[in-house]
Amino acid sequence: MSPGVEGRTYPPVRFRIDEARVRAFADAVGHRGPGVPPTIVTVPEIATGLGNVVSDPELGIDLSRVLHGEQEYRWSRAIVVGETLTGAATIDSVRDKGGMRYLVLRTELRDEDGELVVSGRCTLIVRGDG
């Protein structure tokens, strides 16, 4: 892997929190309400993060070797139906340890006023060939 991928920012995504999406996501995670399931922010986070990471030729990552090691979210407020969140993932760090590669991605999602709604920190583990 070439150096210099740390700090790389992927194209931003726009994600509308629509009713149908909320219902489908709520059913999948067993959210009985009220309101929007907080981890629905995973959807835009994947779109700008993992989705771009695995197609980044400089990283050359095979999706079938990717494990999710750790995840953190900090919410400034609850997510609201009808709003649109925008954000881009940045590669925070890349470390190799014990035959594994650890990629830390950070994604801040903001509302239409530019206010921070949630920040996510995702650690992906890429298993080696062994």
Partner 1 sequence: MSVRFDDLEVGSELRSSVRRVTREDVKAYADASGDQNPLHQDDDVARAAGFPRVIAHGMYTMGTLASWLVDWLGDPAALLRLQAHFRAPVFVDESIECGGRVRSLDPQTRTAVLDVWVRVERDGGVEWPIRRSEAEVQLF
Written as six digits, the tokens of 125 are 């583990």
- Applying CB under 8 A, which part among 4-12, 33-41, 82-90, 94-102 lies near partner 1? 33-41
Q: Would you count residue 34 as binding partner 1 (CB under 8 A)?
A: yes
Q: Does 24 bind partner 1 (CB under 8 A)?
A: yes
* Alpha carbon distance 99, 32 (integer Å): 41
Is residue 71 within the footprint of partner 1 (CB under 8 A)? yes
81 scored as a contact of partner 1 (CB under 8 A): no
- Residue 9's contacts (CB-CB under 8 Å, 6 or more residues apart) are 88, 89, 90, 91
Answer whether 102's CB lies under 8 Å from 94's CB.
Answer: yes
Position among 28, 55, 95, 96 found at the interface with partner 1 (CB under 8 A): 28
Using CB under 8 A, which of the segments 27-35, 83-91, 92-100, 102-110 binds partner 1? Answer: 27-35
| CB-based contacts of 110, cutoff 8 Å, min separation 6 | 85, 86, 87, 116, 117
When asked if residue 104 is in the footprint of partner 1 (CB under 8 A), the reply is no
- Binding-site member from 30, 98, 114, 130 for partner 1 (CB under 8 A): 30
At 97, give phi and psi (nearest 5°). -155, 125
Note the residues at the interface with partner 1 (CB under 8 A).
21, 24-32, 34-39, 42-43, 46-47, 50-51, 63-64, 66-75, 77-79
